[in-house]
Structure 1
Amino acid sequence: MPGLKEGAVSVAKKTYDWIERRVQLEGPIKSAAMHPVPRNTASWWYVFGSAAMTLLMLQVVTGILLALVYVPSAGQAWSSLNLLNHNLALGWFLRAMHGWGSNFMVAIVVIHMVQVFLFGAYKYPRELTWTLGVFMLLMTLGMAFTGQVLRFDQDAYWGLGIGASISSRIPVIGHWVVHLLLGGPIIGGATLTRFFALHVFVIPGILLAFTGLHVWLVLTLGINEYPKPGYIVRPGTYEKDYEELTHKDGIPFVPDALWKDLFFSAAIIAAVAICAFAFGPFGPTGQPDPTIIQTAPKPDYFFLWIYAVLSYLPESLETPFLLVAPVIGIAVLLALPYVAGKGEKSWYRRPVAVLVVVTLAVMWGTFTHLATFTPWSPIMTAWSADTLPAQMVHAQTPLERQGAIVFQGKQCRNCHSVAGTGGMRGPALDGVATRMTEDQLIRQVIQGGGNMPAYGKNLSPPQVTALVSFLETLRKPGQQPARDSAHPFEAGQRPQGAEGKQSAF
């Protein structure tokens, strides 16, 4: 037996030596593991970066396992998640680990960014490290949003509709952005395919690349020392001062500074597992149905504050806030190390920085709490019980009256106004018959487009025919309906609005 063990060890050593001579990783790994760091960085304040990377690995592993079962199609996405929840052994736990891991990852990344900001770790010479961190935060939020869409339940459907509506407000390129996101004019199979590619390939690939570069910069520039009051960052002398600090009071990263990272990362994974076991996976809730407007779609917790802000903002300020506030916020984060990259690091002597963090934390907490009971804006059931004005159905044919019943029953007025009353989410339908032809109306009802969901699967062909017949009556007396320009007009008629736009619906 001793000879057998010695032989196995010899074979293993020869195999290792053969691989090492070709890849030569031992030197860089030893250098990274044993590189000296300031003794005061072996602190619980410095564990969040490693925990975020651990959670990213958890998301990659659980995401790969989920992708083996998940079907990114409009018809099977919802059922494949239910299959995981109810029919596959521990499938629900796998989904719960992935979902709660996402929540924890967003929280840890945000906490890490706050800690870096308060400790002045964005200052010289770590400007690029902070810049990468900002983009990694955006990628983390992108993974969270695309993951929620892939649940493809009622919340995901309407949440994606709201996201498309926001994107459509971007000047000049809004239409193309919506088409790029949805893969067409409606939320369907192409939409899920694109979000699946973003969630599984594009965003994780970028995030992993950024993480590798981020770690490389940390190893190259060193871990930011614990900020002491009066320790001023001066670009001309910082590198020399840091080298002297690590030489006089430095410790090897492994094992002296690593054990706290390992302990905290293990605790975070345990917390994720406990939440997954105790609370289960997120959704899916009801199947996506655009005709069910008695809904209050709410995003996951990290986006809830936006939900509350939009509910309380006046309608006239929604678009400026959505288009301007994120741009300003990201620009400030990116410009921070280049504008304030010198001077004091300690948060004890940076009261403005502390005030900013406290203010943002209170605002985020307040709006997140308000979002738990704030009604959705716009109110989608405001006109559900109101009947159409009598003059609109007084002289109509039976088919057109049947269309008015469909119009009322499907609560179209909650999004569209008619005769001066109704919702403002979609354009007014007074005169829609002069802007869109019969074929365009049919296509818009069935396929949707812009901010309007598709109703092709929720209306029978007779209902569509009746509804379009009623819509064709919505024009002022004496006005001719829109017609296809390829068809000749009857004698005495003039083409009016023959080239109606889909966005007019």
Structure 2
Amino acid sequence: MASLKQRGIDVYNWFERRLGVFTPAIEAAEHPVPSNTSSWWYVFGSAATIILVLQVVTGVLLALVYAPTASQAWGSLEFLDHNVKLGWFLRAMHGWGSDFMIAIVLIHLAQVFLFGAYKFPRELTWIIGVFLLLLTLGMAFTGQVLRFDQDAYWGLGIGASIVSRVPVIGGPLVGLMLGGPIIAGPTLSRFFTLHVFVIPGILLGLVALHLLMVIRLGINDWPMPGRLVSKKTYVQEYHQLTEKTGIPFVPDAAWKDAVFGAAIMLAIMACALWFGPFGPTGQPDPTIIETAPKPDFAFLWIYAVLAYLPPSIETPVLFIAPVIGIGVMLLLPLVSGEGEKHWSRRPVAVLMVAVIAVTLGAFTRLGMYTPWSPIMNAWTSDTIPTQYLHDRTPLERQGALVLQNKQCRNCHSIGGAGGMRGPALDSVASRLTEDQMIRQVLQGGGNMPAYGNALNPSETTALVQFLKTLRGGDLTPAVDASRKMAMTSEQTPPATPNQPAPEGK
């Protein structure tokens, strides 16, 4: 047993003399940190790193099957979901890992800001952290595009239209992003390269630099009211605190990071099992223009902001607000690198975090509702007014029940009762023909979703027959003008040289 142990030590020493990586790694893991940093508030950075490892591993496995071509991308995801054992779970882990990573990085950034950890000597650590957040968001956006479903296709189209508004260089930027004048195979190849090689490479490099600086400069000590940061004395005070109360990061401080990281991994697995992967939705189809692409969870707040912005100020807000926000974050440690760190002495900082959190939460919540499915205040249990049921056939009355049971009155009103999101139905038959009603019900359009999968043919027939009776009193039913012209042409005899055409024809 002793000889076996000695052989192991000899092997270790043989590699260490040639590589020289084990000793620095052990020293980094056991480096002393102030005991007051062994707190649950200091676990978010480690959790983000753990999720990053998860994303790299699952991303590599997905890349083995995924085909980054316009003709095969959607099909390869369907193949993963239905033909590869646990392929759907792998996709779900990768998708939910992305959302969790964004949330953890945001929380970590807010915690660093509230704890004043961006101040001297950790200014560059904060700046690198800001770029890590932007790269994480870039990974999420490019990942959504790689699904190359209907949402991704039209969402990218919206993104391209936004980029095109950049003064002077908007057109070339769109060409660079799409790889041509339209969204096609070159577009997907570029986003695949960004998602798999470019952004992860930069991200991993900055993470390594970020961790190196954390080890070299030390973990920010727990902020105490009245303990000010001074460039002249802080480093000496920090070393004195570490010598007096220091504990090795591994295992004394790291066990909380490990527990929290494990909890986050279990949460990602639970979401993957319960909710499954994101998409893909329908295949990308450029001919289907009446669609409402919705971004992934991390970008829902932008979706809502754009929906509420007046068109006149949309472009300035899109290009000025982000530049100002990122600029402020990058300049923050350079402008406010000294002074008080405790949040109780920095009420403006606390107010800023609270306002930003509430704003993002509110707009994200609003972004979860498409224009046709808001929070309703119309009672679908209200019965159809009796005046709309008099002198109706059994089929038409059945249509009234369909209208009621399918909750159409959440959006549409009849007799002044019901939702206001869609047009009132009291005179719908004077505006739409029977064919137009059928098409609108089955395929949707405008702010109305398609109900083709929610209604069987008999229900559709009954509903349209009831809607045909709603003509607002004595209004004339809607008529297809093109069909009327065709019928008139068929009934009119052709004119001959000896017989003029009938008058008015």
SS at match of 2:69: coil
Give the Cα–Cα distance (whole angstroms) in 1 for the partners of residues 89 and 67 of structure 2.
18
What amino acid is the match of 1:46? Y
- 1:336-485 aligned at under 5 Å gives the runs 336-375=332-371
Residues 1:256 and 2:252 are matched in the alignment: yes
Q: 1:132 aligns with which of 123, 128, 136?
A: 128
Mapped contact 2:74–2:149 kept (Cα < 8 A): yes
Is 1:271 equivalent to 2:272 in the alignment? Answer: no
Partner of 2:381: none
The separation in 1 between residues aligned to 2:347 and 2:226, in whole angstroms, is 14
Q: SS where residue 65 of structure 2 aligns?
A: coil
The Cα offsets for residues 93-148 of structure 1, whole Å up to 9 and x where unpaired, read as 00000000000000000000000000000001100000000000000000000000
1:214-363 alignment, distance < 5 Å: 214-363=210-359
Give the secondary-structure state (helix, strand or coil) at the position aligned to 1:251.
Answer: strand
How many percent identity over aligned positions?
Answer: 67
CA distance in 2, matches of 1:48, 1:237: 28
Aligned to 2:88: 92
Q: TM-score, normalised by structure 1?
A: 0.73
CA contact (8 A) 1:109 1:137 kept: yes
Stretches of structure 1 that go unaligned for 5 or more consecutive residues are 383-413, 415-505
Q: Is 2:190 the partner of 1:194?
A: yes
How far apart, CA to CA, are the structure 2 residues paired with 1:15 and 1:240?
A: 41
Q: What is the Cα deviation at residue 10 of structure 1?
A: 4.4
Structure 2 counterpart SS, 1:232: coil
Matched ranges for 1:156-195 at <5 A: 156-195=152-191
Tell me, yes or no, if structure 1 residue 58 matches structure 2 residue 54: yes
The CA distance in 1 between the partners of 2:232 and 2:10, in whole Å, is 49
Matches within 5 A, 1:492-503: none
- Aligned to 1:144, the other structure's residue is in SS state helix
Partner of 1:142: 138
Matched residue, 1:78: 74
| Cα distance in structure 1, aligned partners of 2:285 and 2:73 | 14
Deviation per residue, 1:382-420 (Å, 9 max, x gap): 9xxxxxxxxxxxxxxxxxxxxxxxxxxxxxxx9xxxxxx
**Is this contact kept in 1: 2:92–2:272, CA < 8 A?**
yes
2 CA distance for matches of 1:287 and 1:105?
28
Are the aligned partners of 2:16 and 2:23 in contact in 1 as well (CA < 8 Å)?
Answer: no
- Match of 1:275, SS state, is helix
- For 1:233, what is the secondary structure of its paired residue? coil
In structure 2, what is the Cα distance between the partners aligned to 1:161 and 1:56? Answer: 29
Q: Is the 8 A contact 1:308 1:374 kept in 2?
A: no
Q: How far apart are the structure 2 equivalents of 1:32 and 1:39?
A: 17
Q: AA paired with 2:85? A: A
- In structure 1, distance between residues paired with 2:196 and 2:97: 15
Question: C-alpha separation between the residues in 1 aligned to 2:315 and 2:115?
Answer: 35
Q: Please give the alpha-carbon distance, in whole angstroms, between the structure 1 residues aligned to 2:235 and 2:204.
A: 28
Q: Which residue of 2 aligns with 1:461?
A: none
Write the distance in 2 (CA, Å) between the matches of 1:318 and 1:239. 47
- What whole-Å deviation, never above 9, does each CA across 1:267-294 have from its counterpart, x for those lacking one? 1011100100011000000001122122
Corresponding residue SS for 2:313? helix
CA contact (8 A) 2:125 2:213 kept: yes
SS at match of 1:69: coil
Alpha-carbon contact 2:229-2:341 (below 8 Å) kept: yes
State the secondary structure of the residue aligned to 1:217: helix
Q: Secondary structure at the match of 1:344?
A: coil
Superimposed CA distance per residue, residues 470-494 of structure 1 (whole angstroms, 9 cap, x where no aligned partner): xxxxxxxxxxxxxxxxxxxxxxxxx
TM-superposition CA deviations, 1:437-476 (whole Å, max 9, x none) = xxxxxxxxxxxxxxxxxxxxxxxxxxxxxxxxxxxxxxxx
TM-superposed deviation, 1:36: 1.0
Q: Distance in 1 between matches of 2:97 and 2:25?
A: 28
* 1:316 to partner: Cα distance: 1.2
Supply the distance in 1 between the matched residues of 2:29 and 2:86 (Cα, whole angstroms): 37
Partners of 1:70 and 1:327 lie apart in 2 by 35
Q: What letter matches 1:306 in structure 2?
A: I
Residue equivalent to 1:389: none
Q: Is the contact between residue 31 and residue 249 of structure 2 (CA under 8 Å) also seen in structure 1?
A: yes
* Length-normalised TM-score, structure 2: 0.73
Amino acid in the other structure paired with 2:34:
P
| Contact 1:311 1:374 (C-alpha < 8 Å) held by counterparts | no
Shift of 1:173: 1.4
CA contact (8 A) 1:230 1:344 kept: yes
Q: Residue 27 of structure 1 is aligned with which of 16, 23, 27?
A: 23
Task: Give the whole-Å Cα distance in 1 for the aligned partners of 2:136 and 2:367.
Answer: 22
Equivalent residue letter for 2:53 = M
Partner of residue 13, structure 2: 17
Deviations 1:285-310 (A, max 9, x none): 00011221221111011111111111
Larger radius of gyration: 2
Distance 1:25 1:149 in 2: 39
- Structure 2: how far apart are the matches of 1:96 and 1:323? 33
Contact 1:134 1:334 survives alignment (8 Å): yes
- For residues 230 and 329 of structure 1, the distance between their equivalents in structure 2, rounded to whole angstroms, comes to 29
Residue by residue, what CA displacement relative to the aligned partner does 1:330-387 show, whole Å, maximum 9, x if unpaired? 00100000111110000011000000011111111111111122439xxxx99xxxxx
Match in the other structure for 1:494 = none
Taking only aligned residues, the RMSD between alpha carbons, in angstroms, comes to: 1.8
1:364 is paired with a residue of what secondary structure? helix
